[in-house]
């Protein structure tokens, strides 16, 4: 995430929903590292985290191993390439075909190249597409586990689960964005510009963004499609996306808050083209309020992520229970829209 938004703390009641509702490829030294790392994490954090080790957390362990091998997953590095290869392998094992979309952009007077990783369900209507995305790059010098291996891992697990669903009437497209940490998110911006040029933007029914979804001192935040003070116009249909997430959390008795609408991440290029947008967020370096601590636990007046954009954003800098919750919410909403996108109307 390129900056931390101020979070609104007014909970919105949005009614009830109309309907409910990769395999890990690890070998050799990486597999051993995952096993040892998981055991160490659970032993050290047993009082705070699940004993259950979720597939999304195993993805995080792989991203951590890659960061230790390559240093980070920043733009243009071997670490980013390795992370992309890992995502592609996991998607292939779930039956997806993947493509890379390369793009170039200028930064501080120099030209850079990166790429997005794209996959979509083999079933569905290609003229009616739901998109879900998370950025795969991190800042230099950081393992970048909460920002944003957490979103990348949750998205990967949602894609795996959706590959098992029979009722896919609407195409679901997943994208792991490159270069979000660069100014103006050039990966998603390039993607939207290409769609617009090819007259395909009208086929995108909605875009859902997941940037930081396992903060160590978390809130459960939903992008606020009723933010009357937003500087970025809110496309029609965004409230319905917000409602889907709110209904899911409400059904579980899970408190949530609404986040500021127009912070900078990969949803911005879509919103500017009037594509309905939604997403989830658990916090960066802004302090947690006393009310939020009462709702979600954790420490009031402490950062939601004290290691935001720092070398400390490693595998110990995540809340596993929150990661599981957000992964399940993402999967539920993706499956709901895949079966029937008319809920956005």
Condensed to tens digits (0 to 9), the pLDDT of residues 101-131 reads 999 999 888 899 999 999 999 999 999 999 9
For residue 345, indicate whether it is catalytic.
no
Q: Looking at 157, 180, 260, 328, which residue is catalytic?
A: 180
Distances 158 to 18, 201, 241, 305, 313 between C-alpha atoms, Å: 21, 23, 17, 24, 23
Nearest 5 degrees, angle CA 274-CA 102-CA 108? 85
Considering the entire predicted model, what is its pTM? Answer: 0.86
Q: Residue 201 carries which DSSP code?
A: G
Taken in order of first residue, the domains within the chain and their CATH numbers are: 28-344 (3.40.630.10)
Place of tokens 């100014």: 183
**pLDDT tens-digit series, residues 23-73:** 333 333 434 344 444 444 444 443 343 445 799 999 999 999 999 999 999
Q: Which stretches in the chain have pLDDT values below 70? A: 2-52
Contacts of 243 (CB under 8 A, 6+ apart): 14, 15, 17
Angstrom distance (rounded) from CA 123 to CA 131: 14
Tell me the two tokens of residue 146: 């909460």
pLDDT at 199: 84
pLDDT at 2: 59
> In the chain, which ranges are E strands?
98-107, 110-120, 125-135, 170-177, 204-210, 221-223, 257-259, 277-281
Angstrom distance (rounded) from CA 217 to CA 215: 6
Do the Cβ atoms of 226 and 314 come closer than 8 Å?
A: no
């Amino acid at each position: 995430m390129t900056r931390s938004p101020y979070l609104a703390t007014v909970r919105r009641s949005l009614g009830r929903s109309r309907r409910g509702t990769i395999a890990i490829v690890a070998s050799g030294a990486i597999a051993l590292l995952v096993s040892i790392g998981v055991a160490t994490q659970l032993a050290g954090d047993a009082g705070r985290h699940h004993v259950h080790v979720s597939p999304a957390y195993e993805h995080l362990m792989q991203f951590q191993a890659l960061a230790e091998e390559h240093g980070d997953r920043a733009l243009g590095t071997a670490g980013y390439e390795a992370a992309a290869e890992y995502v592609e392998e996991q998607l292939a094992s779930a039956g997806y075909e993947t493509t890379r979309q390369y793009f170039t952009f200028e930064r501080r007077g120099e030209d850079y190249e990166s790429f997005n990783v794209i996959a979509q369900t083999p079933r569905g209507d290609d003229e009616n597409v739901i998109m879900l995305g998370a950025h795969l790059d991190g800042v230099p010098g950081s393992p970048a586990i909460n920002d944003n291996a957490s979103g990348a891992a949750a998205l990967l697990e949602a894609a795996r689960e959706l590959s098992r669903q029979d009722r896919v009437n609407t195409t679901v497209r997943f994208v792991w964005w490159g270069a979000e940490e660069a100014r103006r998110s050039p990966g998603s911006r390039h993607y939207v510009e290409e769609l617009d040029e090819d007259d395909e933007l009208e086929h995108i029914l909605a875009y859902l963004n997941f940037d930081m979804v396992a903060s160590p001192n978390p809130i459960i935040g939903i992008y606020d499609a009723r933010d009357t003070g937003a500087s970025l116009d809110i496309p029609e249909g965004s409230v319905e996306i917000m409602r889907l997430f709110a209904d899911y959390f409400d059904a579980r008795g899970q408190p949530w808050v609404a986040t500021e609408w127009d912070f900078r991440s990969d949803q911005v290029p879509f919103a500017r083209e009037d594509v309905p947008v939604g997403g989830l967020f658990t916090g960066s370096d802004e302090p947690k309020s006393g009310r939020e601590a009462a709702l979600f636990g954790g420490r009031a007046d402490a950062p939601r992520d004290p290691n935001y954009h720092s070398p400390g954003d490693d595998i110990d800098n995540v809340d596993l229970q929150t990661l599981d919750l957000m992964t399940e919410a993402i999967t539920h909403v993706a499956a709901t829209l895949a079966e029937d996108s008319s809920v956005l109307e």
